[in-house]
Homo-oligomer: A and B are copies of this chain.
Amino acid sequence: MKIYTIKEDILSRNNERAKEVRALLDSKGIFYVNLMSSPGAGKTTALTKLIPLLSENFRIGVIEADIDSDKDALTVERETGAKVIQMHTAGACHITCQMSLEALEALGTDGLDLIFLENVGNLVCPAEFDTGADMNLVLLSVPEGDDKPLKYPLMFEVAHAVAVTKLDVTEIFDFSTERAVENIRKRNSGAEIFFTSSVKGDGIDALAQYIKNKAFKKIRKD
């Protein structure tokens, strides 16, 4: 069972590194959000909707992590004007804190107040690695089904907030918002839960306000 020992070492080193990242961002007054979900749950779309609502108050940077392609980085840059870099993970299914740190350095943190890390689309592995972020924001899309917190427990356990996305197709997919809340609560009693639709605009303001409050609390030390 050597593999598990190795994994523990990796995680332990990762957690040490996460403390360094937090100290760095704290000293610079930057709020850092780690956005995680399954592939295609709407991470990039959420960013294109949230950033315009946040850019009045914050100078925003975005790290787009993908195994391959630069599609998301181009989309976010074009639609929001935020400072964006694309990071390729060389096949890796998650972002370690070392990768997070290198990406922050590559992005350049000077002059920024709020940075989003769009993690690799994966409901399993990214949850295991602390990226040094102040907030883990997890998306659960309606077409995936309301049972996902039961099957992918750690992702929902590490979430500070869960945003259900694509709320406009709830009826088509027989998705129950009550069951979703119930299943999220089985994994996490304290996470904030939002119901959003980027098509209809539902819930985006509330989610932006939540991020704004948390970021102000850190940056201004409210």
Copies of this chain: 2
Q: How many residues of A contact B (CB 8 A)?
A: 35
Question: By the criterion CB–CB under 8 Å, are A151 and B38 in contact?
Answer: no
Question: By the criterion CB–CB under 8 Å, are B123 and A122 in contact?
Answer: yes
Question: By the criterion CB–CB under 8 Å, are A67 and B124 in contact?
Answer: yes
Question: By the criterion CB–CB under 8 Å, are B125 and A93 in contact?
Answer: yes
| Chain B nearest Cβ from A24, distance in angstroms | 24
Q: Is A66 an interface residue (CB 8 A)?
A: yes
| Chain B nearest Cβ from A162, distance in angstroms | 14
Proximity bits, A144-160, B CB within 8 Å = 1, else 0: 11011011111000000
Q: Is A166 an interface residue (CB 8 A)?
A: yes
Q: Is A26 an interface residue (CB 8 A)?
A: no
Which residues from chain A sit less than 8 Å from chain B, CB to CB? 3, 6, 10, 38-40, 66-69, 71-72, 91, 93, 120-125, 128, 141, 143-145, 147-148, 150-154, 166, 169, 172
